[in-house]
Structures are given as C-alpha cells and as structure tokens.
Amino acid sequence: MADTHRINFEPVDIEMEVSEDETILDAAFRQGIHLMHGCREGRCSACKSYMLDGDVQMDDYSTFACNDSEEAEGYVLLCRTYAYSDCEIELLNFDEDELLGGAPIQDVRTKVAGIEPLTRDIVSLKLDVVEPEALEFKAGQYVDLFIPGTDEKRSFSLATTPSTPDRLEFVIKKYPNGLFAGMLEDGLSVGDEIMINGPYGSCCLRNGHVLPIVCIGGGAGMAPLLSLLRHISETGLNRTVHFYYGARTAADLFYLDEIAALGEKLDNFEFIACLSESADQAPGGVTVAEGNVTDIVDAGESDLARTEVYFCGPPPMVDAALALAEQHSVPRDQIFYDKFTSPAFD
C-alpha cells in the first residue's frame, strides 16, 4: 500500500491526508474538500496553488497552465501534483462555502433519452439517470462521461439544473474526428447506457452574492451558462444578467426562444448574439453585434470590475475573456470559468 502524508491548506487551515498514488486534488475530493478546479488535467490553471513546504512532484501538464518560471518559484497544479512528504500549501483561489459544502462526487448509470441536432455542429444529448435515481449537482457544474466501448472519458457541462436531477441535458459541439463526436454521429442510440462521474467544476452561483452577472459563452459554452440562467429563472434570484454569446453566423444560434422566455422572468436581462462572421439575417427580436464576443463585451460593459463574470467555451475564447477580465481589473474571486479543453488537443 502506498505511503500517506498530511496536507495543510492555508489560509483556510484545513488538513487532510493524501496517498502517494493519488493527486492532491483527487485526495481532496475523496475527503469531501472541494478545492478550486477546472479541467483536472493540468490544462486550465484553475487549481494553481503555492507550495509553502514539502516534497511534491507534478505529472505532465501544459505550460500554458503553469509556466517554467512559476514552477521554479514553487507554484503547482494540484490536479497533477503528488505528495511525497507532509506538505503546507497556500490556496490562491478558494471559496469558503464550496470548500466543505460541494456536492459529493458520484458514479451514476444513465441511459440515452435523446440526441437532437441544434445547429450544423452542435447537438443536445439528453440522459435519463438510472442508478442511483438522481444526480446531485449545482447549476453550472460538469460531469465526466465514459465513452462506451473505450477507456476514454470526456467532460461535459450540464445544461439542466438541480430541479431535474433525473433528466440531464448536455450541449455538445461535434469536432471533426472527435472520439465522442463520432459516437454522436454514428454509435449512440436511445436506450444505450452511459456511465457518468461527477459533479465537478466551480462555475456556480454563490449564495448571497448580489453583483450583476456577465456571462460570456462561445459554441457549446452555452451549456453551463444556460444551466445558470435556467436556475436563476427557476429560483427567482433577482440578479441583473448580461449574456454575451459568441457564434459564427446567425445559423449557429439556438435556444433563442427559451433564452428570451427565461430572461423575461428577470428584471434586468440582456442577451447579445455576437456574430464573428456575419450579422446578416439576424433572427427577429435578438440583439446582434458583429465581432468577437470578448471585443463586444469590452465595448458594452463600462464597469466590468463591479460584476461577477462567468465564461465558458473553447480555450482561445476563455483565454481572451481572462485577459479582458484582467484588463478591467475584475477581482479574481469574481471570475468563474470553464475552459473546454480536450485530452486529444493541446
């Protein structure tokens, strides 16, 4: 059996044990401690922390997430870090409510309930939860789907909310030659079984927060933002929401009627379709702006630092949104994001 060590997290003063054969992030999940994280694969930097003391080693990771000089200074990615002594670690980002109050990680058996095209390359995948009977999660979180017939898994954000814990929806972009995309094309049918594991992710609403919300999404990044919007609308949370959604053309937009209906329940809601290739043929009633989604947010939000910003989607969009948030001096604890990385794509 592998040796175990004690980890002390500062400044929250939480202690846990870790075995030498698990990452510090996984050990934390196992013990019900929800550290800040995103991809769990060393690609997004959400779990970056600082070693105060101890002997650790990091598995493969992307230098975009932690560059060589940061590594030399003592920064680590907890999703890739193994401990070989007792350690003291400073958490750079944490949420006191989430730390000990997150939903437990569950293994859940589901069955495909429907696969429907939403645009030329985005589909809605609906799963019925079979065993246990429901998935406990928070709006904005994601789960891992195990790809039937392979040892591979992919992360997908829930588009639904905790109000339907037995019927889950995912919004999935089909990348050419993608492993999971291929299954959606020709391989998965209604009734097929899919195992899922989760929930993960920190892109959730915080209890008691009141600042206006700015959502920035691109492509399948609609999924967690739709979950947040559905949840805000269902629970009657009265927060201002500006939702900027980036797509190439008007033909790549979807769920516009539902978004408008959800927005009508809020006092202050705006949806801006940001079309990077052409603003022609905009659907009736939808506000359209032409350009990159982050440029349009930059022009449209005069006080981004006094908002909570949620952004989800492809890595280049998320990187641009992070740069924008930094440029507008948005405090780090007002930024929540999921970068849709793929294990097959660096």
Ligand X SMILES: Cc1cc2nc3c(=O)[nH]c(=O)nc-3n(C[C@H](O)[C@H](O)[C@H](O)COP(=O)(O)OP(=O)(O)OC[C@H]3O[C@@H](n4cnc5c(N)ncnc54)[C@H](O)[C@@H]3O)c2cc1C
Residues that bind ligand FES (CB under 6 A): 37-40, 42-47, 65, 77, 79
The correct pick among 61, 82, 137, 156 for binding ligand X (CB under 6 A) is 156
Chain positions 270 to 329 lying near ligand X, rule: CB under 6 A, are 314-315
Residue of the chain from 165, 178, 212, 291 that contacts ligand X (CB under 6 A): 178
181 lies in the site for ligand X, by CB under 6 A: yes
**By the rule CB under 6 A, 180 interacts with ligand X:** yes
Among ligand X, ligand FES, none, what binds residue 5 when CB lies within 5 to 8 Å by partner kind? none
Nearer to ligand FES, 28 or 172 (CB): 28
What is the distance between the alpha carbons of residues 214 and 244, in angstroms, rounded to a whole number? 8
* Site for ligand X contains 175 (CB under 6 A): yes
CB-wise, 57 or 268, nearer to ligand FES?
Answer: 57
Q: Find which of ligand X, ligand FES, none residue 338 binds, CB within 5 to 8 Å per kind.
A: ligand X
Residue of 242, 255, 243, 296 lying closest to 122 (CA atoms)? 255
Determine the Cα–Cα distance for residues 321 and 297; give it in Å rounded to an integer. 9
Question: Cα torsion for 263, 139, 308, 240, to the nearest 10°?
Answer: 20
Asked if residue 338 binds ligand X (CB under 6 A), the reply is yes
Which region among 4-12, 149-157, 230-238, 263-271 touches ligand X (by CB under 6 A)?
A: 149-157
User: Which one of 62, 81, 141, 155 is in contact with ligand X (CB under 6 A)?
Assistant: 155
Task: In angstroms, give the least distance from the CB of 71 to ligand FES.
Answer: 13
Question: Which of 35, 91, 220, 322 touches ligand X (CB under 6 A)?
Answer: 220
Which CB atom, from 154 or from 242, has the smaller least distance to ligand X?
154
Helix axes 222-235, 256-264, angle to 10 degrees: 30
Task: Enumerate residues 94-133 that contact ligand X by CB under 6 A.
Answer: none
Is the bond preceding 11 in cis, omega lying within 30 degrees of 0? yes
Say how far apart CA 147 and CA 171 lie, in whole Å.
16
CA count, 13 A, side-chain hemisphere, 58: 27
- Which of ligand FES, ligand X, none does residue 65 bind (CB under 5 to 8 Å by kind)? ligand FES
Q: Which is nearer to ligand X, 99 or 203 (CB)?
A: 203
Task: List the single partner that 223 binds among ligand FES, ligand X, none, CB under 5 to 8 Å by kind.
Answer: ligand X
**CA 80 – CA 23 distance, rounded (Å):** 6
Contact between 228 and ligand X per CB under 6 A: no
Q: What residue is closest to ligand X based on CB?
A: 178
Q: Pick from 271, 269, 277, 287: which is nearest to 216 by CA?
A: 271
Cβ–Cβ under 8 Å, residues 242 and 232: no
Size of the site for ligand X (CB under 6 A): 29
The nearer residue to ligand FES, 25 or 172, going by C-beta atoms, is 25
Residue 220, H or E segment:
none
Closer to ligand X by Cβ: residue 232 or 318: 318
Place of tokens 């079984």: 193
In the chain, alpha helices (H): 24-30, 68-73, 96-101, 179-185, 222-235, 256-264, 293-300, 315-327
Between 35 and 183, name the residue whose CB sits nearer to ligand FES: 35
Residue 202 site contact among ligand X, ligand FES, none (CB < 5 to 8 Å, cut-off depends on kind): none
> Which among 23, 134, 30 has a CA at the least distance from the CA of 89?
23
Which stretch of DSSP H or E encloses residue 31? Answer: none
Beta strands 14-19 and 81-83, pairing class? unpaired
For binding to ligand X (CB under 6 A), which residues are involved?
38-39, 142, 154-157, 170-173, 175, 177-181, 201, 220, 223, 314-315, 338, 340-345
